[in-house]
A and B are shown apart, each in its own frame.
Chain A
Amino acid sequence: MQKRMKKETTLHFSKDLLFGIGNAFLLSIFTLIILYPIYYMFIVSISGSSNVIRGEVSWYPINLNWDSYRAIFKNQNLGRSYLNTIFYTIAGTSISVSMSALCAYPLSRRNFYGRNLFTFLVVFTMLFDAGMIPKFLVVNALHLRNTIWAILVPSAINVYYMIMIRTFFQGIPEEMVESAKIDGAGEGKIFTRIVLPLSKPVLASVTLFYAVGQWNGYLSPLLYLDDKKLYPLQLILRNIVISNEMATMSSDITSMHISTVNIKYAVIFVSILPILCVYPFVQKYFNKGVMVGAIKG
């Protein structure tokens, strides 16, 4: 009897071990599938154009050179759009985070008269989306088209992120707020001196989400901007990578013998570089923030 049980557990043990190995193997393949295109893009961008065209580059760069990056950095449209995007990201994120926190704080307070009504008004906009054309008409009517405000303001508050912040605010002990009130602090002071400093984790993750959203923003500029001087990186990126508009770089392409494939991959790589650089550092941080929102929300 005992012998049989032992045999069964060892059988299970080896089966479970096999399960673990198979699982780890499949997950390794999955990570490879994710990482390889990013790596491939990079090695193509720094390889010799003829090697790329002949399809020789697959695991490591061949005839390593940085010509395509040189050609990109000379391109004025791209440089300007890069600066524009940096501006949109900083300004847009600041506006979005402050507006979301300002919205979340009153909605988190139980003594806010009309809280349920306002919460409903806000959440309803999440369920019933007016759609592309009405939004466009609003921006048009306010004369925001072809201004930076069209990028910064119309989608300033993301209701989902706002609720994440509100949920976090609600978790702050009521006693802290009450004692501050007894000390004579007004709501504004409680908000800036107590609630905000205590909410750094959630504010950090929401900041990151808004920043990534602005950095990657494509639809608002596509709809609201016609002036090329205001174009963010993503629109120029689309023109080069998907619509093949490389007229401004054609002289460099012929003189340096770079293929358009080199240029395309180099442009993509330059556009994701900031994300690749920041990502390892913030990764842990936003992970926590998402968990907070996910579990409670």
Chain B
Amino acid sequence: MQSKVMWLKMKKSKELYLLFLLPFLYFIIFKYGAMFWMIVAFEDYDATKGVFASQWVGLKWFKAFLREPYFLTLIKNTLLMNIWELLFFFPAPIVLALMINEVRNNKFRRFVQTVSYLPYFFSVVVICGLIVNLCATDGLINQVISAFGLQKISFLNRPEWFRPIYILSDIWQKAGWASIIYLAALSGVDRQLYEAAIMDGASRWKQILHISIPGISSVISIQFLLALGEILSIGYEKILLLYNGNTMSTADVISTYVYRRGIISADFSYGTAVNIFQAIIGLATIVLANKAARKAEAASLW
């Protein structure tokens, strides 16, 4: 009986199923197909034998990764890079949005917005090309430094400069774009609150502290949760383009390591094991962070 009702309902949606067919196949083949391929992490994958005939080795590759002497360096670099991001990049678009929101002249406001979104549309290769050339020993930045009579710095060969360069260029490229969501939230804050505050003689600084920031706090906490979910998956495209043997000690992160082991050395089983490790940590952090946010009765993702 129940299956008959189900069948009827499905029949009623049949046109929608037809429309959904291609996207559905896409997700099954490329997304869930990739999840299926994760099993090579548990075998000694041999391309000539195929995924079904390769030798099953259980957790061998996971153990190998965890016992790797380099493991701690990778974890440390990945976490530090993300913590730097959370500390220095994360607040940048919020500050920018609050500042843009205080501009009363519409033309200037639109100009600042237009300019600040622009670099977001440049490719990671362009951004890194700019960094490499501007930070070169004969590049613009060193020209300025030597004009002040200071010693030139070979920025891209110094491990201690890698994170600052990474974060600063991220702010340059993405802070404007990331501010959009906060600006949208700020435009939703009740105008009457500001009017009442002005009546009470609150300065603009006070208005920001007591109206604007609380008004967008739920958006901030959602963005923070999303950022936390990515804590073990830093944008490695940029690192791949910027790092070199000299900066490896701070620049090498889990994803770049996976790229070298998995793609360059074709060590598929090992690379997949590390990918699984990352995916699980990523999922766990986002679930835990969301739980914490719900407990604190702040805005949560679900």
Q: Which residues of A contact B119 (CB under 8 A)?
A: 34
Give Cα A156–Cα B32 distance, bound, in whole angstroms.
Answer: 14
Q: Which residues of B contact A99 (CB under 8 A)?
A: 22-23, 26
Contact residues, B243-263 vs A (CB, 8 A): 255, 258-259, 262-263
Q: In this assembly, does A129 line the interface, its C-beta being within 8 Å of a C-beta of chain B?
A: yes
Q: In this assembly, does A118 line the interface, its C-beta being within 8 Å of a C-beta of chain B?
A: yes
Give Cα A287–Cα B183 distance, bound, in whole angstroms.
Answer: 11
Q: In this assembly, does B140 line the interface, its C-beta being within 8 Å of a C-beta of chain A?
A: yes
Give Cα A271–Cα B123 distance, bound, in whole angstroms.
Answer: 9
Q: In this assembly, does B166 line the interface, its C-beta being within 8 Å of a C-beta of chain A?
A: no
Determine how close the nearest CB of chain B comes to the CB of A152; give it in whole angstroms: 12
Determine how close the nearest CB of chain B comes to the CB of A233; give it in whole angstroms: 9
Q: Which secondary structure characterizes the binding site on chain A?
A: helix
> How would residues 269 to 285 of chain A score, 1 for a CB under 8 Å from any chain B CB and 0 otherwise?
00110010001100100
Contact residues, A96-115 vs B (CB, 8 A): 99-100, 102-103, 105-107, 109, 111-114
> How would residues 33 to 58 of chain B score, 1 for a CB under 8 Å from any chain A CB and 0 otherwise?
11101101000000000010000000
Instruction: Please choose the segment from A70-78, A172-180, A213-221, A245-253 that sits at the chain B interface, where 4 or more of its residues have CB less than 8 A away.
Output: A213-221
Whether B130 lies near A113 (C-beta < 8 A) is no
On chain A, the number of residues with a Cβ less than 8 Å from chain B's Cβ atoms is 90
Q: Which residue of A lies closest to B109 (CB)?
A: A27
Contact residues, A193-211 vs B (CB, 8 A): none
Q: In this assembly, does A64 line the interface, its C-beta being within 8 Å of a C-beta of chain B?
A: no
Whether B37 lies near A138 (C-beta < 8 A) is yes
Indicate which residue in B17, B121, B133 contacts A106 across the interface (CB closer than 8 Å): B17
Contact residues, A133-182 vs B (CB, 8 A): 133-138, 141-142, 153-157
Contact residues, A254-297 vs B (CB, 8 A): 261, 264-265, 268, 271-272, 275, 279-280, 283, 287, 290-291, 294-295
Whether B112 lies near A153 (C-beta < 8 A) is no
Determine how close the nearest CB of chain A comes to the CB of B67; give it in whole angstroms: 20
**Can you list 8 residue pairs at the A/B interface with Cβ under 8 Å?**
A9-B201, A55-B143, A133-B37, A188-B15, A212-B121, A234-B125, A242-B128, A271-B126
List chain B positions with a Cβ less than 8 A from chain A. 6, 9-10, 12-13, 15-20, 22-24, 26-27, 29-35, 37-38, 40, 51, 96, 99-100, 102-105, 108, 111-119, 121-126, 128-130, 132-134, 138, 140, 143, 172, 176, 180-181, 184, 188, 201, 203-205, 229, 233, 237, 240-241, 255, 258-259, 262-263, 268, 271-272, 274-276, 278-279, 282-283, 286
List chain A positions with a Cβ less than 8 A from chain B. 8-9, 12, 15-16, 19-20, 23-24, 26-27, 30-31, 33-35, 37-38, 40-41, 53, 55, 58, 99-100, 102-103, 105-107, 109, 111-114, 118, 121-122, 125, 127-138, 141-142, 153-157, 186-188, 191, 212, 215-219, 222-223, 234, 237-238, 241-242, 261, 264-265, 268, 271-272, 275, 279-280, 283, 287, 290-291, 294-295
